[in-house]
């Protein structure tokens, strides 16, 4: 099992401290305080120092912790900062480079999940390899499908590597946000889809369409644009099994990320092995592990688990 974290070379993000169910993070020039249920330990810095360093703190609302309103609340300003600002991702010299517009939302998120940087590096590396191989063989540009794609960092990692990218999310507002990130990154030609992910994948399978790259980062709960219900425990295996029908049987990759509390890396590995069993061979490469953020005091904050497949 692998434990991975963003490169220290990424200058626009840092986890300064964590503890007491909170995290102190720097995004570019601005520092935020946000709730973090996995930060079970004590803070290393005193509360007064957190308040001195931060420009804003997220205050949970009355519905915080309840299904569908887990992250709802408001931001209390502690200093001067804009409601929107831009950071750059440039984690490694050989990896992707793109820009992301951040903002203070009513659901504690700011528009990026920084622990996902190792997945962006994996996507960029494998996409770049497939693009080069396709060019040498005079084949079409590889196609990558990003499901539950949010504000598009993973889509940009694939696009700047040269792939033909389809970005799908059920929320029109975040697709618009992702389009803005593409423009900020001076990229182009990403295909935008606002739809229920499972319906889209099933339709692609019926049409015989395949992709050389699949990216999945599903939420614990969610709704499609027409009220379709998504519950991770009930839908994940079906989704992955349907995805196995649209993943190219060779020269392809898949990455699954899971945030849900109680899900382990071993579970992610097992569900991928079972769902994609018909595509696996001796040459298949599977890996799994946890994505963490490490603060200045060397406390590792585990935030998600992943499973990756290379055919």
Q: Where are the chain's structural domains?
A: 2-103, 114-310
114-310 and 2-103 share a CATH fold: no
Asked if 262 and 270 count as a contact pair (C-beta separation under 8 A), the reply is no
The fold for domain 2-103 equals Immunoglobulin-like (2.60.40)
* Alpha-carbon torsion angle 152, 154, 156, 161, nearest 10: -170
Asked if 247 and 210 count as a contact pair (C-beta separation under 8 A), the reply is yes
Which CATH number applies to 114-310?
3.40.50.150
Residue 203, H or E segment: helix 197-207
The CA distance from 268 to 109, in Å, is 24
**18-63 pLDDT, tens digit each:** 999 999 999 999 999 999 999 999 999 999 999 999 999 999 986 5
**118-135 pLDDT, tens digit each:** 999 999 999 999 999 999
Kindly state the average pLDDT of the residues 163-186. Answer: 97
Tell me the whole-structure pTM to 2 decimals.
Answer: 0.95
The CA distance from 144 to 215, in Å, is 8
């Amino acid at each position: 099992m692998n434990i991975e974290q963003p490169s220290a070379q990424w200058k626009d993000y840092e986890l300064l401290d964590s503890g007491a169910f909170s995290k102190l993070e720097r995004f570019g020039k601005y520092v935020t305080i946000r709730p973090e249920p996995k930060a079970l330990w004590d803070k290393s810095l005193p509360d007064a120092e957190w308040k001195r360093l931060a420009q804003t703190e997220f205050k949970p609302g009355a519905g915080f912790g309840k299904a569908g309103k887990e992250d709802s609340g408001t931001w209390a300003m502690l200093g001067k900062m804009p409601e929107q600002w831009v950071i750059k991702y440039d984690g490694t010299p050989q990896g992707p480079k793109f820009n992301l517009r951040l903002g203070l939302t009513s659901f504690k998120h700011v528009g990026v999940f920084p622990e996902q940087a190792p997945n962006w590096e994996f996507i960029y590396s494998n996409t770049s390899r497939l693009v080069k191989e396709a060019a040498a063989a005079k084949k079409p540009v590889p196609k990558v499908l990003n499901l539950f794609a949010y504000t598009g960092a993973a889509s940009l990692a694939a696009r700047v590597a040269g792939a033909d990218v389809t970005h799908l999310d059920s929320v029109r507002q975040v697709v618009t946000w992702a389009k803005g990130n593409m423009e900020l990154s001076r990229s182009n030609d990403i295909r935008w889809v606002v739809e229920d992910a499972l319906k889209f994948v099933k339709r692609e399978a019926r049409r015989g369409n395949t992709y050389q790259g699949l990216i999945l980062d599903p939420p614990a709960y969610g709704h499609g644009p027409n009220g379709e219900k998504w519950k991770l425990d009930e839908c994940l295996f079906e989704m992955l099994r349907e995805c196995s029908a649209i993943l190219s049987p060779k020269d392809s990759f898949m990455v699954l990320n899971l945030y849900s509390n109680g899900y382990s890396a071993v579970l992610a590995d097992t569900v991928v092995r079972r769902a994609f069993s018909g595509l696996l061979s001796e040459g298949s490469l599977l890996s799994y592990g946890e994505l963490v953020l490490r603060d200045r005091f060397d406390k590792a904050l585990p935030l998600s688990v992943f499973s990756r497949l290379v055919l």
